[in-house]
Structure 1
Amino acid sequence: METCLDREGFDKHCRKLPFPNKFSVKKPHGGGGLSLFWKLEVKMDLINFTDNHILARAVEEDGFAWMLTCFYGWPEASKKPKSWALLAHLRSFVDGPWCCVGDFNAILHSSEKQSKFPSPLKHMDEFRRLLDDYSLVDLGFVGNPFTWNNKRSEFENTKERLERVVANMRWREKFQACSVTHIFSHASDHWPLLLQAILALRCCGRSTRLFRFEKAWLMRDDYEKVINDTWCSAGTSESGLRCMKEKIRRCGRFVGVQAWGTSNTHPDVEEIKKVQKMVEELSMAEPTVENKSEFLAISKILDDLLLKQEIYWA
């Protein structure tokens, strides 16, 4: 993935991700970077890297090996040849199945850009010719047709499909059921890509838990009043630490607190979906000043809901 985090940033913000293996490339003078995460059971070997790519070799459980390229193309028009030269160089390391995913900072067709400034036909032709030369085919997508939005208003707004996944025939023959989904993100100007090579349904349930204090309660406006009222009503004849212990025990067993805690702890999944849909629709609507203002307001609501959900599952 493309990121602006450095090593310290990853340790702080991504330490809870279920991917113990990670490799990051950070540009020396600020700006973005690239990172690759993978699970412990995944067999992945790093081949080489630069500020604009990570090349790795993956091996499936059945021994099938394929090459993965995480790619970031130069955004400047004058540096497009550098992007294509790098891809040509990476091709020399590939002998077999190959999948390339990332932000190419280029489009294949004029329909992949919505702006008052059209992309030069020359750049689109060069990109198409390059993919054809290396037998790389765009895997398509599900979702919004654009993966980048500068989020400016009205005529200054630009949307493009800059991110994509391409693969050669041998990779596509192995993963015939693969799919690419553009995942909506209100917090970034880029939409993440979800590449699914193998589809598997997982059933997971949440067992009944004993009563315990939840950090998410601290975000409720009525939290202090509910806890204070319950604490004061939990009378006891004990004193000192025994009194404290007995009050805590009674608060935990009090039906009112349990009911309030249950209703205010579990993340409202349906509400999150509803607000996400509103934000997504606004992101695709006419980029007027009014729509942008409403987008920011509803995005704040979504941020609060997602934070509560994150605290709950922490």
Structure 2
Amino acid sequence: MIVLSWNCRGLGNPRAVPVLRELIRTHTPDIIFLFETLVHAQKLEDIRTKIGYEGCFAVNRDWRSGGIGVFWRRSSTCSLLSFSNNHVDMEILDSAIGGWRLTGFYGIPERHRRRESWNLLRTISTASTLPWCIIGDFNDLLHLEDKQGLVEHPEWLFKGFRDAVNDCALQEISMQGYTFTCSRRRGKPNAVEERLDRAFGNFEWMVLFPDAQLSNLVADISDHSPLLLKTTQPEVFIKQRKFRFENKWLREPHFQELVQHSWDVGSGHDLLPRLEMCADLLSTWGKQRFVAFKQSINQYKQKLKQLRNYSNPESVEEYDATRKNMIDLLVQEEDHWRQRAKTF
């Protein structure tokens, strides 16, 4: 099972869906939690159709804030247990290991209401005896080292969140990658980085999935990083693909020369063998072009991971330029998939 959790800071942003689709193509999550969607349920249903998932559940935004969206690949794997403006609780049905519980959680941002978040955690924890995992944007910090910046974090907030986690008998799932999941005002004197996004499991869940891995990803249209939780290593399937002509090839330089060359190589053969040779050559060439495109995106992502460790003006400027270039590529790729799906 692969779970993606992300405070996307608004799905109305035209760049949000291309970035989400890239995350899906790269990591193939089975379940996706999106927080602060800032949209109504119908928008989530439209996105579900675009990304090709079977199931969708939405908690509508509250005026101009909030909103939770959940997508899952197979409708038979998930059963909704409860929800609120700040959580969606589901039972995951697994014929091999039995059922377990997965909760997407969005902590209340306002400090004066933080105790409501902690009490909600306690309430959810007692709702079932199933093995339980909870993931999301908690809008809270556990330790002093979870924050970097000039603005201090009150001790009562640390203690309140720690007490709630302890009362729920939760253990934190260790995270790989960059320490902080939320960055604001990068490169400025008042820049702040925090670890607001986390995943926890109770004892039964940790025993069930002892090799679970949590990763901090890059998707820079939001100030929050996506989290990727893997309970097991995904199986690899090799699919045999039929030849399909791509209209975008017509815009590639030297395309006509390539076709002419393949046709000349097959001279002396009958029509069908020549067509097969041309199709094979185009398929190989098309894959190479696609790989080069994906490599560019991956290079930008790796560069972003490196640059976010630095806050000097030159690095911040390079970070912003790299982010723009990567998003431009993702938008181009989104246009390609829309053309293939004939959704223009």
Provide the residue aligned with 1:269 in structure 2.
294
Quote the offset at 1:76 in angstroms: 1.4
Distance 1:284 1:12, change over 3 A: farther
1:66-95: CA deviation from partner (whole Å, max 9, x where unpaired): 222211101111111110111122123122
**Pair 1:304 & 2:340 matched:** no
Segment drifting more, 131-140 vs 293-302: 293-302
Q: Which structure carries more relative contact order (alpha carbon 8 Å, separation 6+)?
A: 2
Counterpart residue type for residue 163 of structure 1: D
**Pair 1:213 & 2:246 matched:** yes
Equivalent pair of 1:267/1:308 in contact (CA under 8 Å): no
C-alpha separation between the residues in 1 aligned to 2:313 and 2:229? 34
Distance 1:301 1:207, change over 3 A: same
The gaps in structure 1 that reach 5 residues or longer are: 232-249
Provide the residue aligned with 1:165 in structure 2.
199
1:174-200: CA deviation from partner (whole Å, max 9, x where unpaired): 111111111111222111111111213
SS of 1:156's partner is coil
**Pair 1:122 & 2:122 matched:** no
SS of 1:15's partner is helix
Distance 1:258 1:122, change over 3 A: closer
C-alpha separation between the residues in 1 aligned to 2:96 and 2:286? 47
Provide the residue aligned with 1:234 in structure 2.
none
Task: Give matches, 1:219-258, under 5 Å.
Answer: none
Provide the residue aligned with 1:27 in structure 2.
61
Distance 1:208 1:133, change over 3 A: same
Provide the residue aligned with 1:184 in structure 2.
218
C-alpha separation between the residues in 2 aligned to 1:199 and 1:263? 27
Quote the offset at 1:53 in angstroms: 0.7
C-alpha separation between the residues in 2 aligned to 1:53 and 1:114? 27
**Pair 1:106 & 2:131 matched:** no
Equivalent pair of 1:217/1:261 in contact (CA under 8 Å): no
SS of 1:154's partner is coil
Segment drifting more, 87-96 vs 70-79: 87-96
Equivalent pair of 1:67/1:98 in contact (CA under 8 Å): yes
Q: Which has the larger radius of gyration?
A: 1
Provide the residue aligned with 1:87 in structure 2.
121
Counterpart residue type for residue 306 of structure 1: L
Distance 1:266 1:141, change over 3 A: closer
The gaps in structure 2 that reach 5 residues or longer are: 1-32, 261-274
C-alpha separation between the residues in 2 aligned to 1:260 and 1:191? 35
1:198-243: CA deviation from partner (whole Å, max 9, x where unpaired): 2133143564625x2333765x6x59xx679x99xxxxxxxxxxxx
SS of 2:90's partner is strand
Counterpart residue type for residue 270 of structure 1: Q
Provide the residue aligned with 1:47 in structure 2.
81
**Pair 1:68 & 2:93 matched:** no
Distance 1:267 1:204, change over 3 A: farther
Provide the residue aligned with 2:43 in structure 1.
9
SS of 1:284's partner is coil
Distance 1:38 1:254, change over 3 A: closer
